[in-house]
Amino acid sequence: MASISNAQSTQMLTTETIEQEIQGSSIHSYKVSLNEGDFVKIVVLQKGIDAVVTVFNPSGTKELQVDTPNGTQGIELVSFVASSDGNYRLTVTPLEAKAPAGKYEIRVISKLNAEEYKKSQPVTIKTGPTDIYIEKGEGAQYINFEFLIQNAGNDTLTIESIALSVRNKNGQLTLKKFINGNGVVPGISTIANRILSGQSQLTVFNPFHTFESELDLSDLSYGFTFSSQIGEMYEVTVAVKPSAYVNKTKLRLPLKGKILIEDGHDFYAHHRRFDYGHPFLQSLGFKTNFMRYSYDFVTLNANDEMFSGNEQANDSWDCFGKSIYAPAAGKVVAVIDSMRDNRKFDERLIAQNQMILFGNHIVIDHLNGEYSLFAHIQKGSAKVRIGDMVSADQAIAAIGASGSANIPHLHYELRTSADHLAEGLPSYFTNYKKSGKKVSSGQLDSGDIVEN
């Protein structure tokens, strides 16, 4: 067992154990030389000190930080795949700046080249979409994305736990959350499907989605633990760096009167759970969640009801046939209004025309990278044609029940393009009333009732 006499020197890590004493605000620095694609797993055994282990890539950028909630005893496991060639620096620091002296041991327990790692590691995790946004709400902020988990091995794997560490822009740990198998009805059971059979893919929607409004979400680290049928455990760390989205387009609500968001894009909304990673949806040509931030708008009658009489009759719904208004100026780039308002569509045609889901629809290009889509409009109600320039608050169509509509409603979404390969974008609406109060700009979601 080797030891370091100079706490600030940078020691090359190997499979030989290094034992060190550390206290307070001391920083111990180590390095490991890797080629792009190499995998390394390093263990830190805490012996009276609660240690934080940080990894920096060859350019000096922080790659990840590890601090499991095991106090001053136990191990910290650090594993990662090199994103480039060079020396990776690891630092060990006490969690508390005034921590008394304690000891730890550190060593490399596994180091594989890229080819060896590819053969040995059955599970990989990607995130979608490419750009992950923070949506700012009233008193809270939300992160809407998913994990695409691939099991390249032949053994069945089970997700045992998911942990989240949040750090601010200064690298300070500000929040830790866990879902695992602890308890009679454990938190991990809220993940609908945790089992990946061999050679399969699974989508897991981000389970940590809501945060207090002032929390700095600059640096998120998700840790997944998997078990195999033969008793092996796998750990995968996923770094997420979301950014707040600011609309380029000043949007108004597309309806008038008393409006209910019958379904929005919160964690439980069906728009949120469009699983484009599912093999069946992929076979139909879907690769993104264009409805990630969508809204299903209906209006309420004088009795605050969505309909009166026969629910199956479109005319019973207060919103059916009511005008839809452009939320902002732009150019009309798509218009379809020939489908019947029968709440049906031919599913056999999806592979040839994915947009058939929306039934009759209009798309407006706001000429800044943002597009508004209005779906399920009434047959024959379009007041605009492709190429028309529209102004904010201009009537463009009426609410219908075509396509995949289960009820008469307006499906609205802000998106990155006019086709089925678009990604959804957060949208903030201006100048409406909520709970009798005027709102100059705000975020809306499932269940909200507003007046416009």
Instruction: Output the 3-class SS for 179-217.
Output: ECCCCCCCHHHHCCCCEECCCEEEEEECCCCEEECCCCC
Measured distance between the N- and C-terminal CA atoms of the chain, rounded to whole angstroms? 72
The pLDDT score that the predictor gives to residue 422 is 98
Beta strand ranges found along 245-393 (DSSP E): 258-263, 295-299, 323-325, 330-336, 361-365, 371-375, 389-390
What does the pLDDT read at residue 114?
83
Nearest to 236 by CA among 350, 149, 331, 339: 149
Cis amide leading into 100 (omega within 30): no
User: Which two structure tokens, joined as six digits, stand for 428?
Assistant: 């903030």
Q: Are 295 and 330 in contact (CB under 8 A)?
A: no
pLDDT in tens, 395-447: 999 999 999 999 999 999 999 999 999 999 999 999 999 999 999 999 999 99
Which tens digit of pLDDT belongs to each residue from 79-104?
888 889 999 999 999 999 889 999 99
Structural domain span for residue 370: 258-451
Indicate the range of 5-9, 96-100, 313-317, 395-399 predicted with least confidence.
5-9
Is there a single domain that holds both residue 235 and residue 264? no
Q: Residue 198 sits in a domain of what CATH number?
A: 2.60.40.10
Instruction: Tell me which of 42-46, 60-64, 195-199, 356-360 is least confident.
Output: 60-64
On whether residue 64 sits in a domain, the answer given is yes
Q: Which helix (H) or strand (E) holds 46?
A: strand 39-47
Both 315 and 438 in one domain: the answer is: yes
Amino acid symbol at 297: F
Q: What is the CATH number of the domain that holds 72?
A: 2.60.120.380
- Give the separation between CA 45 and CA 76, rounded to whole angstroms: 7
**Residue 56 near residue 15, CB atoms below 8 Å:** no
Grade residue 68 by pLDDT with cuts at 50, 70 and 90.
Answer: confident
**Residue 5: pLDDT over 70:** no
pLDDT of residue 115: 83
Q: Provide the pLDDT for residue 4.
A: 39
Q: Is 252 inside a domain boundary?
A: no
* Cα-based distances in Å from 248 to 132, 324, 368: 17, 21, 7
Helix (H) or strand (E) holding 283: helix 279-283
Strand 157-167 and strand 210-212: the pairing is: unpaired
Q: If you average pLDDT over residues 332-353, what whole number do you get?
A: 94
**Predicted pLDDT of residue 2:** 43
CB neighbour class for 412 (10 Å; exposed up to 12, middle 13-18, buried from 19): buried
117 assigned to some structural domain: no
* Position 27, amino acid: I
Domain shared by 408 and 330, yes or no: yes
Query: Considering 210, 244, 278, which residue would you say is the last residue of a domain?
Result: 244
What total number of domains does the chain contain? 3
End position of a domain, from candidates 54, 79, 112: 112
Starting at the edge strand found earlier in the chain, the sheet holding 102-112 runs 2-3, 18-22, 102-112, 39-47, 73-81
For 23-49, what is the mean pLDDT? 93
Question: Domain check: are 108 and 126 in the same one?
Answer: no
Do 73 and 217 have their domain in common? no
Contact 252, 451 (CB under 8 A): no
Where a domain ends, among 92, 112, 132?
A: 112
Mean pLDDT (whole number) for 5-24: 82
Q: 292, 423 in Cβ contact below 8 A?
A: yes
Confidence bin at 8 (pLDDT 50/70/90): low
Helix (H) or strand (E) holding 33: strand 28-34
* Residues 316, 215 share a domain: no
Examine residue 249 and state whether it is found in any structural domain, yes or no.
no
DSSP states of 215-249: ---SEEEEEEEEEETTS-EEEEEEEE--EE---SS
Flag whether pLDDT at 3 surpasses 50: no
Residue that is written with structure tokens 């949120």 in the block: 272
Mean pLDDT of the 206-227 span:
95
Residue 7 has pLDDT above 50, yes or no: no
Both 240 and 267 in one domain: the answer is no
Same domain, 293 and 275: yes
Mean per-residue pLDDT of the chain = 93
Closest among 100, 90, 75 to 31, alpha carbons compared: 90
For the segment 347-399, what is each residue's pLDDT rounded down to a tens digit?
889 999 999 999 999 999 999 999 999 999 999 999 999 999 999 999 999 99
